[in-house]
Amino acid sequence: MRRDQKKLQKRYIFLIVYFILLFIPIYWMLITSLKYDTEILSGLTIFPKELTFKNYVEIFTSSTWMNSFRNSLTYVFLNVIIVLVVAIPGAYAFSRYNFLGDKHLFFWLLTNRMAPAAIFIVPFTELFFTLGIHDTHLAVALGHSLFNIPLAIWILEGFMSGIPKEIDETAFVDGYSFPHFFRKIFFPLVAPGIGVTAFFSFTFSWVELIIAKAATITEAKPVVVTLTVGIGAEGVKWGLLAAAGVLTIIPGAIVVYFVRNYMAKGFALGRV
C-alpha cells in the first residue's frame, strides 16, 4: 500500500511539473499585458512592478481593434451556420445509406481537411473578386468551409452512427414524415454531436489566419490579421499585442464552457 502511494506521488509530481511548464508562456503573456511598455523593455520582472490596464483600455477604445473583433465574430458565426446546415444532412447520408462512391467521396472530403491553406491564397482571392464578395464576412466564412465542412461531416457521422437505425425505422412505421421525424426524434438525439461540431467549427474558424487574410482587405479585416500587423517592425507595442492575445482566448473559453459536458463524449468517439 505504501509503495502504491509513493508511486502515486511520483505520478502527480510529474503531472504538476508539466502543468507548470505548460502555463509559464501563458503567464508570461498575461503579465506582459499588464505592464507598462517601459517596464517590459527595461528587464525581466516576474510580476509587474506597476499593474496597469492601459493596454486593455487602449484596445477597447480603438475602433480598429473593436471592428476586428466584431468582424471575426461575424464570419465565425456565419461559418458555423453554413457548416451545420450543409453538414447535418451530409453526415446523415453517410451514416444511414450505402451509395455509389460513398467511400471515395468520404475520403475526398477528408483530403480537403488535409489540404494546406497556403496553396489556396491566390485562387481564393481571384474567386472572391469574381463573385464580387471579396473583403466581406461571407467570403471568409465560405473559405473556412474548405476544412470545416469535412471535419463537421466526419464528427457528425460518428455521432449519428452511434444512434441505432431501428429508431428511424420505428418512427417511419409509426407514420412520421421525414421532416417531422428529423425534427422531433433525430435532432434531439444527435444534439450533443451538433454541440461538439459547432465548437470545433468555431475554434478552427476563429484561429485560422491564411484564408482570413487572403479574403479580406479592410472592411472585414479579422482580429488575427490585425494582430500580425506591426510584428517585426521597430517599436512594436508588446504590451498591447499581449493584451490582444489574451482577449482572443476568451471567446473560445466561453464556447468550451457551454459544450463542456459533450466534449468527453466527442473525444471518446475518437472523431475530434
Partner 1 sequence: MKYDNRAWLFLVPALAVMALSAFIPLMTVVNYSLHYIFSGSIPEFVGFANFVDVMRDSAFRGALGRQLLFSVSILAVEIPLGIAIALSMPKKGIGVAISLVLLGIPLLIPYNVVGIVWRLFSQSDIGLIAEVLSWVGYEYNVSLDPVDAPVTLFLLDVWHWTPLVALLSYAGYLAIPDAFYRAAEIDGASRWKVFRFVILPKLRPVLVLAFLLRFMDSFKIYAEPLLLTGGGPGNTTTFMSLFVARKAQSYELGYAGAASLIYLFIVIVMSYIFFQLLNKLGSGESQKA
- SS3 call for 42: coil
Q: Tell me how far, at minimum, the Cβ of 177 lies from partner 1, in Å.
A: 16
**How far is 185 from 74, CA to CA, in rounded Å?**
31
Q: Tell me how far, at minimum, the Cβ of 199 lies from partner 1, in Å.
A: 10
For the segment 185-224, give every residue that binds partner 1 (CB under 8 A): 203, 206-210, 224
Q: Which stretch binds partner 1 (CB under 8 A): 53-61, 63-71, 123-131, 167-175?
A: 123-131
Q: Which stretch binds partner 1 (CB under 8 A): 47-55, 58-66, 163-171, 240-248?
A: 240-248
9 CB neighbour count, 10 Å cutoff: 10
Q: Tell me how far, at minimum, the Cβ of 151 lies from partner 1, in Å.
A: 10
**How far is 205 from 220, CA to CA, in rounded Å?**
14
- Which helix (H) or strand (E) segment holds residue 85: the answer is helix 63-96
- Candidates 52, 73, 121, 161: give the one binding partner 1 (CB under 8 A): 121
Contact status: 53 vs partner 1 (CB under 8 A): no
Indicate the residue type of 195: G
* Contacts with partner 1, 141-180, as mask; x by CB under 8 A: -xxxxx--xx--x---------------------------
φ, ψ at 245 (rounded to 5°): -60, -45
For the segment 8-37, give every residue that binds partner 1 (CB under 8 A): 11-12, 14-15, 18-19, 21-26, 28-29, 32
Cell matching residue 219: 472592411
Comparing CB distances to partner 1, the nearer of 53 and 108 is 108
- SS3 call for 163: coil
Q: 173, 189 in Cβ contact below 8 A?
A: no
Q: Tell me how far, at minimum, the Cβ of 71 lies from partner 1, in Å.
A: 14
Q: Tell me how far, at minimum, the Cβ of 5 lies from partner 1, in Å.
A: 14
142 CB neighbour count, 10 Å cutoff: 21
Distance between start and end Cα atoms, the chain: 38
